[in-house]
Amino acid sequence: MSEILLINLSILILFLPLAGFGVVILFGKRFSKLYLFEQGIITLAFILSVIVAVVKLSSYVNQDILFAFTWIDFGNVPMLGELKIDLGIKLDNLTVIMLFVVNLISMLVHHYSVEYMKGDAKYNRYFAYLGIFTFSMLGIVLTDNILMMYIFWELVGLSSYLLIGFWFEKDSASDAGKKAFIVNRVGDIGMFIGILILFATYQTFSFDAIYEKISMGIIPFDSGAWLTAAGILLFMGAVGKSAQFPLHVWLPDAMEGPTPVSALIHAATMVAAGVYLVARIFVMLTADAMLVIAVVGAFTSFIAASIALTQNDIKKVLAYSTVSQLGYMIMSLGVGAYAFAFFHLVTHAFFKACLFLGSGSVIHAMHHEQDIQKMGGLRRKMPLTYLSFLISTLAISGIPLTSGFLSKDGILAGTLAFGSLTGHWLIPIFGFTVAMMTAFYMFRLVILTFHGEPTDKHKFDHAHESPRLMVYPLVLLAVLSIFIWYTPNPLAPNQGWFLSSWVKTPQTVVPQDLRFEFMQSTETGTGIVHSEMYEHAMHWAHYPAMILSVILAGLGILLAFMMYQWKKISPDKFAEKVKPLYNLSLNKWYIDEIYQSTFINGTLILSNFLAWFDNTIIDGIVNGSATVTRLFSRISGWFDNYVVDGFVNFTAFFSGFIGLSFRRIQTGKVQTYIVFVIFSVLILIILL
C-alpha cells in the first residue's frame, strides 16, 4: 500500500466521524434511526484504522509518512520573508497506534451506548457528539504541527463540554461541563503562549521543523530559560487536559456525564491527549522542564491515588484513579521513560475503558445507583462484567501477566533509574506509593461492588447481566489487558514488539548544556541508542522495580481483602486510630509525615484529609478565585457606571452649570446690562 493511500485513508478516518456528526446533528430530529449511520461510520473508521496501523507498522515501521498543505499564505512578509502556516498530518508509529486505540474504544463505546442510552430524549444527538469527539481526538493524534494540535485540542474541549453537560437539565452536569471547559482553558492559555514562543522564534508550527531548528542551536530569544519556559507552558496544556495537579479538579466532576462518555473521554482517550502532547514535545524539553513535569506527574498521581482510597462513588474512584494513572504517564515522560509512558497510555486506555464500561454496566444494572457502599455481591448476578472488571483491576494494579504490569513496571523502573541518575528519589517514591494505593483502592472497589453480601436487597434483586451489546466491549477490552498482545515474555516488556520496534525514545534536540546528561543519545543506522549511563541505570532498576511493585501491589490487595472481604481490620476503627498521627504530621515534617503515615498506619486518615483538601482547598481555590474574579468584575462594573460614566455626566453637569451662571447675568433689567457693558469696556481697555 502506497504512502499516498495511507495518507488518504487516515484523512478519511479523520473526517468520517465529522460527517457522522454533521449528518446526525442536522437531520437527527427528523430520522430517529439516524444513530445507526453514526454507528456504521465509526465501525468503518475503526476498520480503516486497523488497516492503516497494520500497514504502517509492518511496511513503514521506521519511516514517517508526512502530508502537509498551506493553510494560510501570508505571502512575502516584511522582515520575515515568505511566511506560511502549514497544516498537515504525520503518520508515525505513535500516531497509528493512537489511531487504532482511539477508534477502537470509540467504536466500542458507540456500540455500548446503544443499549446504555436507550430511551434518552436526545439519543441521536448523543451519538453526534460522540462523533465530533472522535473527530477532534483523531485530529490531535494525526497532526504534524502544534497549531493543528491546539485547534483539535480545543475542539476536544468543546465535545467534552457538550458530553459532560449532556444531561444539562441537572445543574450539577452543566456546572461540571462549564468547570471542565474553563479549567482546561487555564492550561490552554499556557499552551497557547508556548505555541506563540515557538512561532515567534521559528515562524513555523511544524514539530519536525521546530526540532530541526532547535537542534541547529536556535533557541527562543537566545535564552535557555525561554526554551524551558516554552516546554513548561506547552506542558500546561497537558496539565489541563490530562488533569494534572493543580488542574485535576475538573475530572472527578466530569463524571456527571454518561458513563460511556467517561470511559471514552475521561479515561481512555481525551485525557491521554495531554500525555500524547508531552510525548510529542518530548525532544525539546530541557532538563528543568523535565524535572517540573516529573514532579507534577508524581505529585498528581500521589494526590489522586490517596483521594481514591476513600471515595464511595464507583465513578469517582475510577476518576481519581485515572488522574493518578495519568500522573504516572506524565511522570514517566518527565523522567525520560518515554516509551513506557506511551505504552502505559495504550494499556491504560484499554483497561480503564473496560473499568468504566464495567462500572457503567453495574450502574445500569443497579438503576443508576453509584454508591459502592450500597452494592455488593454482584459477581453472581453479572459474571461477565465481574470477570472483565477483575482483569482490568489486576492490570491497573500491576499484577504480572497483565498489560498494566508491563507498562507500569517500566515506568517505575524509569523513575528509579532517574532517581539514581539525578538524585531525585522522591519521584520513584511517589511512584511506588501510588502503585500500592492503586492496588488497594481498586480492590476495595471490586470487593465492595462484586463481593460480599448485597447491602441493598431490593436493587440487588432487580440487577441482571447487561445486554450483549454492552458486555462484548467489556470482554474485548479485558482481553486486550492481557500481556500477550504486547510481548511474548510477561516479565520483560522490552522484548515485546511494542517497545522493541514500534515505540522508541526519540533523540532529544535540546542543546547540550540544557539537557540531562543521561539524555545523551546517539543515532545509529538502525535506531537510537541511549547513553550507556542510562541503559545501565535502567538495567539496574528493572528487577528491583518489578519486585517492589509486585510486592506493594500485593500488599495493597491484601490490605483491601483484610479490610473489606475478611473484615479483619475495621476501616472505621482504622481511621480513628491514625488520627493523632496525622495531627503530629502537621509539624515540621509535614510531607514526610504524610508519606510515613501512608506507609505505616494511617492511609485512610491521610486520604480523608486529602479528600477534604481536594474538595475544600483546591476546589475552593478555583471556586474562590471565581468568586474573587466575579467580585472584581462587579467592582469594575461599578467603576464603569459611576466613575467613567460619571465623568462624562459631570462634564454635562459642568456645562450646565456654566450655562446657569451665564443665565444669571441675564436679569432682564436693561440698566444692569449697561453696567456690564461699561465695566467690560473698562476692563478691555485696561487689558489691552
Partner 1 sequence: MDLNSLYTSFNYIAPEITIAVALIMIVIFDLIFDKNKKIIPYIAYLGIFSALFFVAANFNLTGTNYKVSSLNESMGMISTDTFGSFFKILILVSSALIIFFSKTSEEIKKTFERAGEYYALIFGMILGMMFMVTASDLILIYLSVELLSLSSYVLAGFTKLRDRNAEASLKYLIYGAVASGLMLFGISLVYGMVGSTNLAALNNYLQLPLANVLTFTAAAVLIFAGIGYKISAAPFHFWTPDVYEGAPISITAYLSVASKAAGFALLIRLIRIGFVRFIDGDGNWHISGIFDWQSFIIIISILTMTLGNFSALWQNNLKRMLAYSSIAHAGYILLGVAVLSNHGLMAVMVYFFIYMIMNIGAFFVVMLIADKTGSEDIDDYNGMGYRTPLLGVALTVFLISLTGLPPTGGFIAKLYLFIALVDANLIFVAVIALLNSVVSLYYYVRVLKHMYLTRSDKDDLLFEISLSNKFFVTGLAALILLLGIYFTPLLDLVKNVSFFTL
Partner 2 sequence: MEGFPILSLLTFLPIIGMVVVLALPKKLELGIRYTALVFTGLQVVFAAVLLANYNYAAAGIYEESSFQFIEKFRWIEIPGVSWLGTVKIDYFMGVDGLSVPMILLTAIISFIAVLSSWNISKSVKGYFALFLLLDTGMMGVFVSLDFFLFYVFWELMLLPMYFLIGIWGGPRKEYAAIKFFIYTLFGSVFMLLVMIGLYFSAMEVMPDGSKVFTFNIIAMMDPSNFTVEGILSPFNPNNYRFVAYLALFVGFAIKIPMFPFHTWLPDAHVEAPTAISVILAGVLLKMGTYGILRISYPIFPEITRDLMYYIALFGMINIIYGALCAMAQRDFKKLIAYSSISHMGYVLLGMASLTSTGINGAVLQMFNHGTITAMLFLLVGVLYDRTHTRGLNDFGGLATQLPVYTGFVTVAFFAAIGLPSLSGWVSEALVFIGAFSVESIRTLTMISTLGILLGAGYMLWTLQRIFLGKLNEKWAGLKDLEFREYAMLVPLTVIIILLGIYPSAMLDIMNTSVNTLVDFLAVNVSNSASIGLLN
Partner 3 sequence: MIEVGLTHFLVISAALFSFGIYGVVTRKNAVMVLMGVELILNAANINFVAFARYGNFGLNGQIMALFIIILAAAEAAIALAIVLNIYKTFAHVNIDEIDNLKE
Task: Decide whether 72 or 681 has the Cβ nearer to partner 1.
Answer: 681
Q: Using CA atoms, how far apart are residues 198 and 227, in angstroms rounded to an integer? A: 9
Q: Which of 327, 356, 316 is nearest to 242 (CA)?
A: 327
Rule CB under 8 A: which of 639-658 touch partner 2? 640, 644-645, 648
Task: Decide whether 8 or 672 has the Cβ nearer to partner 3.
Answer: 672
Q: Which does 155 bind (CB under 5 to 8 A by kind): partner 2, partner 3, partner 1, none?
A: partner 2
Contact flag: residue 71 with partner 2 (CB under 8 A): yes
Task: Decide whether 69 or 662 has the Cβ nearer to partner 1.
Answer: 662
Select from 58, 80, 659, 661 the one that contacts partner 2 (CB under 8 A). Answer: 80
Which of the stretches 28-36, 368-376, 535-543, 658-666 binds partner 3 when contact is defined by CB under 8 A? 658-666
Contact flag: residue 663 with partner 1 (CB under 8 A): yes
Say if residues 140 and 156 touch (Cβ distance below 8 Å).
yes
Task: Decide whether 5 or 658 has the Cβ nearer to partner 3.
Answer: 658
Say if residues 266 and 171 touch (Cβ distance below 8 Å).
no
Say how many residues touch partner 1, by CB under 8 A: 22
Select from 189, 209, 426, 492 the one that contacts partner 2 (CB under 8 A). Answer: 189
Q: Using CA atoms, how far apart are residues 56 and 52, in angstroms rounded to an integer? A: 6
Say if residues 659 and 653 touch (Cβ distance below 8 Å).
no
Secondary structure element (H or E) that encloses residue 91, with its range: strand 81-91
Task: Decide whether 644 or 681 has the Cβ nearer to partner 3.
Answer: 681
Burial pattern 340-371, b for ≥16 Cβ within 10 A else e, equals: bbbbbbbbbbbbbbbbbbbbbbbbbbbeebbe
Q: Which does 573 bind (CB under 5 to 8 A by kind): partner 3, partner 1, partner 2, none?
A: none
Q: Where are the beta strands (DSSP E) in 477-539?
A: 521-523, 528-530
Q: Using CA atoms, how far apart are residues 414 and 9, in angstroms rounded to an integer? A: 36
Q: Which does 171 bind (CB under 5 to 8 A by kind): partner 3, partner 1, partner 2, none?
A: partner 2
Contact flag: residue 588 with partner 3 (CB under 8 A): no
Task: Decide whether 185 or 536 has the Cβ nearer to partner 2.
Answer: 185
Task: Decide whether 543 or 673 has the Cβ nearer to partner 1.
Answer: 673
Print the SS3 string covering 172-211. Answer: HHHHHHHHHHHHHHHHHHHHHHHHHHHHHHHCCCEHHHHH
Residue in the block written with cell 535506531: 527
Task: Decide whether 199 or 574 has the Cβ nearer to partner 2.
Answer: 199
Q: Which does 659 bind (CB under 5 to 8 A by kind): partner 2, partner 3, partner 1, none?
A: partner 1
Contact flag: residue 666 with partner 3 (CB under 8 A): yes
Q: Which of 575, 580, 116, 618 is nearest to 320 (CA)?
A: 618
Query: How many alpha carbons fall within 13 Å on the CB side of residue 383?
Result: 1
Q: How far is the CB of 41 from partner 1 (least distance, A)?
A: 58
Select from 488, 544, 646, 656 the one that contacts partner 1 (CB under 8 A). Answer: 656
Say if residues 516 and 422 touch (Cβ distance below 8 Å).
yes
Contact flag: residue 683 with partner 3 (CB under 8 A): no
Contact flag: residue 181 with partner 2 (CB under 8 A): yes
Q: What is the widest separation between alpha-carbon atoms in the chain? A: 118
Say how many residues touch partner 2, by CB under 8 A: 56
Handedness of CA 528, 532, 538, 543 (dihedral sign): positive
Beta-bridge mates of residue 91: 65
Contact flag: residue 675 with partner 3 (CB under 8 A): yes
Contact flag: residue 26 with partner 1 (CB under 8 A): no
> For residue 341, what are the contacts with CB-CB under 8 A and spacing of at least 6?
275, 278, 279, 329, 330, 332, 333, 411, 414
Q: How far is the CB of 13 from partner 2 (least distance, A)?
A: 18
Tell me the per-residue interface mask from 633 to 652 with partner 1, x by CB under 8 A, - otherwise. -------------------x
Say if residues 85 and 70 touch (Cβ distance below 8 Å).
yes
**Cα distances (angstroms) measured from residue 526 to each of 3, 55, 121, 280, 325:** 21, 20, 56, 21, 32
**Cα distances (angstroms) measured from residue 200 to each of 17, 81, 280:** 34, 14, 19
Q: Which does 152 bind (CB under 5 to 8 A by kind): partner 2, partner 1, partner 3, none?
A: partner 2
Tell me the per-residue interface mask from 593 to 632 with partner 1, x by CB under 8 A, - otherwise. ----------------------------------------
Q: Which does 313 bind (CB under 5 to 8 A by kind): partner 2, partner 3, partner 1, none?
A: none
Secondary structure element (H or E) that encloses residue 90, with its range: strand 81-91
Say if residues 54 and 26 touch (Cβ distance below 8 Å).
no
Residues that bind partner 2 (CB under 8 A): 25, 29, 71-80, 83, 147, 150-155, 158, 161, 165, 168-171, 174-175, 177-178, 181-182, 185-186, 188-189, 192-193, 196-197, 199-200, 221, 626, 629-630, 632-634, 636-637, 640, 644-645, 648
Residues that bind partner 1 (CB under 8 A): 652, 655-656, 658-660, 662-663, 665-666, 668, 670, 673-674, 676-677, 680-681, 684-685, 687-688
Residues that bind partner 3 (CB under 8 A): 663-664, 666-671, 674-675, 678
